[in-house]
């Protein structure tokens, strides 16, 4: 008899990250063999149990991994209460996948999508310090003193955050910054705290994955080498 924690099972069915599917469980939207289950610690007997989400049967899927060059004007959720376009509309696949983390509505660049909950959780967990590199276009040249402050750390809403690396390009209003955390609007808030507005923002690298020549709105499957490269680089996947 093969069993699996319910949150992991639901994630492998393509319903979202483990954190997201735990919300579904607590909301009473999951049934096992016709009975609502609201306990996060519940186990599923994979070959025996029938699991439904909002009344529809779900099942585990083959693992899928995609890279999208996210354009502006899309939200990085599987649905949106404001009926805005979601990034899932850009990828033509029959496999249910979900974004790894998020990019703001008007932020562009590297976005990974998958139905592999373990892969997602490992990339997002702060202890694993997965690097994200962003290219920010700011409204005025970055001063050296402010660069040093952001490298040392700033307090955002009571919690300290910092950039791991800052590279100012020849055009001093274009700055590449490296971060290891994914707080909402983190990059923009870091600059805004010191009086800079971010006019444009693009993620150009996530966990070693870059866009190459992938156009805005374009997508492709990650190669096995890229997937294994991430797993090797971040050790425990």
Catalytic residue of the set 49, 54, 80, 104: 104
Phi and psi at 201, nearest 5°, equal -145, 130
What's the rounded Cα separation, in Å, for the pair 223 and 237?
Answer: 16
Tokens, residue 47: 């070959």
**Is there a catalytic annotation at residue 80?**
no
Q: At what angle do helices 117-124 and 18-26 cross, to 10 degrees?
A: 110
Residue matched to tokens 């029959």? 94
Rounded to whole angstroms, what are the CA distances from 80 to 42, 76, 83, 115, 124?
A: 29, 9, 5, 19, 22
Whether the CB-CB separation of 134 and 203 falls below 8 Å is answered with yes
Catalytic residues: 104
């Amino acid at each position: 008899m093969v069993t699996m924690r319910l949150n992991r099972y639901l994630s492998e069915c393509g319903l979202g990250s483990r954190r997201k599917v735990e919300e579904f469980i607590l909301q009473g939207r999951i049934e096992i063999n016709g009975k609502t289950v609201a306990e996060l610690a519940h186990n599923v007997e994979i070959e025996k149990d029938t699991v439904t989400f909002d009344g529809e049967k779900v099942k585990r899927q083959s693992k899928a991994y995609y890279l999208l060059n996210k354009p502006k004007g899309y939200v990085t959720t599987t649905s949106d209460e404001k009926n805005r376009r979601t990034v899932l509309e850009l990828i033509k696949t029959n496999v249910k996948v979900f974004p790894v983390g998020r990019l703001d509505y008007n932020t562009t660049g590297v976005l990974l999508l998958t139905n592999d909950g373990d892969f997602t959780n490992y990339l997002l967990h702060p202890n694993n310090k997965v690097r994200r590199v962003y290219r920010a276009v700011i409204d005025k040249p970055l001063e050296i003193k402010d660069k040093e402050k952001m490298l040392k750390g700033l307090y955002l809403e009571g919690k300290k955050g910092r950039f791991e690396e800052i590279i100012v390009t020849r055009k001093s209003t274009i700055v590449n910054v490296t971060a290891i955390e994914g707080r909402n609007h983190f990059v923009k808030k870091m600059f805004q705290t010191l009086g800079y507005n971010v006019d444009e923002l693009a993620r150009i690298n996530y966990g070693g994955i870059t866009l190459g020549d992938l156009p805005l709105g374009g997508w492709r499957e990650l190669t096995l080498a890229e997937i294994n490269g991430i797993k090797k680089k971040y050790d425990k996947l």
